[in-house]
Structure 1
C-alpha cells in the first residue's frame, strides 16, 4: 500500500479512536479500568506540562501571562476527562467574570485537577506548595504562568510570598486559586476539613472578594479506596462572591467561617444521600458531624 493511501486512513482512524475511547475503557473490568483511566490522567498531565511550557513562552512574549492557566486548564480538562467518561454540570459560571478575587475550592483528591481545569477563571494564578516547583516540566510551566509557591516549612518566606502575591494581584488585576483546606480531605461524607487562614488574610489585605467554588462529592465517579473509576456527571457550583471591602485583620475568622458555612451548605445540598437520609437520621447525623469536627480540630491543632 502506498504512503499516499495510508495518510487519509490515519486522519480518520486517530479521531475515531479518540471518540471511541470512553466506550472502550467503560467495558474493561473495574480494576483494570481504574488503572487505565488513572494512566490516562497521568499522561494528560505530562502532555499538558510540556505543551504548557510552550504556551507559556508564547503568551509571555505576547504579554498575556495571566491567561496561560486558563487556556492550559481548559485543554487539560478535556483531554483528561473525556476519555474517562467524566462530564460536568456547572452552575453560577457567570460569577467567574467577577474579578479580581480570591478563589477558594474544596479539595477531595488528586482528581480535583479536572475540576480546576473545567472552571479555572481567566486572569487567575495558582497558589501551591513549593515542592511542585521542582517537578519536571510541571514546575517550569507553573513558574512561567506566575504560580505562587509557598514554603510551608518557613513561615517568614511564606509571609513574603503572600505579600508579593497581593502586589501582583493589584498590578495585573488577577485572582488567586487556593484550596483552603490545605490538603486532600478524602472524607466519605459531605464535609469539609477546617480551613487555613491564608486565603482570607489575602482577601482582606487586598480588599478583594472571596469567590467560593464547590464540587460535589464524587466517590461514585472516582474512588481510589475501592479502585473504582466508572466516570459520570460531576456537579460544580460557583457561588456568589463574598465582599471584603472595609474588613480588617480582626475579621479574618468571621470571613473564614462564613465562607466555610456557605460552601458546606452547598456541598450537602449536592449530596443526595445526605438530603434523603436527613429526616430519619437528623440527630445521629448531627452527633456524627460533631465527632468529625472535633477530630478535625484536634488534627489542625496538632499541625499548628
Structure 2
C-alpha cells in the first residue's frame, strides 16, 4: 500500500513540519560559519561540538518539542562511554546531541559526507564508515579506539543504521564493532532506548509531529575484565536492555 503524504492528509502536520524545518535550517545557517571556524583546529573542535548542541537545543525549543528522560544512573560527563541505542528515526541523532553532556563522536555512514554544508560539518566532528568496505570498517574501529583513548565517547547504532522493517522490533543481531572497541579499551557500554521517535518523525516525508521525545538512558554496563570471548554475551545483554522497554512502551511482548 502506498504511504499517504502527511502534508496532504493532515495540513496542520504539514504547517508544523515547515515551521520546525525553517528553524532547523535557519539556526544551522546562523551557526555554521562559527562551527566551521572552530573545526579548523583540533584544540577548538570541542567548541564546535558545543555549538552543534546549541543548534539542537534551539531546534527543539523553537519546535516546542519536549523531552521526558529517564536516567537509571547519573552520567559522568568526564567518562568515556560507548553509547548504543536503537535507530528507528533520523530524529535519534539531534535527540542524542541534546540529551548527552559528554563530548562524543557518532559513527555514521560515509554517504552523509556528500550532503551540502552539513556533510562537511558532520565529517569534521564524527567518524564515517562505508559498511560495504572492509578496509573502511577497520579504519573506523581504529579511529574510534583513538577517540576513546583521548576520553571522547563514541555513539554507535549497532543495528547498522535504520534497518528494521518491523518497528518497534530492532534488527538483530547487532554488529560487533561497538562491543569490540568497548572491551578492547575496557570502557563501559551505555545502552539508550528511544521509545517513540519513529512515531514523531515520518522519515519518508520528513514530517514532524508535535509531542514529547521519550528516552531511557540506562545504567552503564562495565567491561572491565572482559575479553573478546565475552563479546556475544555483552552484545546480547545490550540488545535486551535496549529492546525490552521499547516493547513494554508499545505493549508488545519480547519474542521467545
Task: Answer yes or no: is the 8 Å Cα contact 1:166–1:206 preserved in 2.
Answer: yes
User: Distance in 1 between the 2:56 and 2:147 partners?
Assistant: 25
Q: For 1:232, which of 205, 211, 214 is the aligned residue?
A: 211
Kindly state the Cα deviation for residue 190 of structure 1 after the two structures are TM-superposed: 3.3
User: Distance in 2 between the 1:77 and 1:42 partners?
Assistant: 14
Match of 2:176 in 1: 197
Q: For 1:174, which of 152, 167, 173 is the aligned residue?
A: 152
Match of 1:139 in 2: 119
* Greater helix fraction, Structure 1 or Structure 2: 1
**Bigger radius of gyration, 1 or 2?**
1
User: Distance in 1 between the 2:166 and 2:16 partners?
Assistant: 21
Paired positions, count: 247
Tell me, yes or no, if structure 1 residue 58 matches structure 2 residue 38. yes
User: Distance in 1 between the 2:78 and 2:238 partners?
Assistant: 17
Kindly state the Cα deviation for residue 72 of structure 1 after the two structures are TM-superposed: 1.0
Q: For 2:107, which of 124, 127, 133 is the aligned residue?
A: 127
Task: Answer yes or no: is the 8 Å Cα contact 1:222–1:231 preserved in 2.
Answer: no
SS in 2 for 1:160: helix
The unaligned stretches of length 5 or more in structure 1 are 1-27, 279-284, 291-304
Q: How does 1:252-271 map to 2 (within 5 A)?
A: 252-269=231-248, 271=249
Task: Answer yes or no: is the 8 Å Cα contact 2:189–2:220 preserved in 1.
Answer: yes
Match of 1:6 in 2: none
Q: For 1:221, which of 194, 197, 200 is the aligned residue?
A: 200
Match of 1:106 in 2: 86
The 1:193/1:41 distance shift into structure 2, 3 A limit, reads farther
1:188-210 superposed Cα distances (whole Å, 9 cap, x missing partner): 65322111111111111221110
- CA RMSD, aligned part only? 3.0
Task: Answer yes or no: is the 8 Å Cα contact 1:96–1:238 preserved in 2.
Answer: no
SS in 1 for 2:38: helix
Task: Answer yes or no: is the 8 Å Cα contact 2:89–2:198 preserved in 1.
Answer: no
The 1:62/1:248 distance shift into structure 2, 3 A limit, reads closer
**TM-score, with length taken from structure 1:** 0.70
The 1:130/1:117 distance shift into structure 2, 3 A limit, reads same
Match of 2:3 in 1: none
Task: Answer yes or no: is the 8 Å Cα contact 2:147–2:154 preserved in 1.
Answer: no
Kindly state the Cα deviation for residue 238 of structure 1 after the two structures are TM-superposed: 0.8
The unaligned stretches of length 5 or more in structure 2 are 1-6
Q: Which has the higher contact order (CA 8 A, sep 6+)?
A: 2
Match of 1:76 in 2: 56
**TM-score, with length taken from structure 2:** 0.82
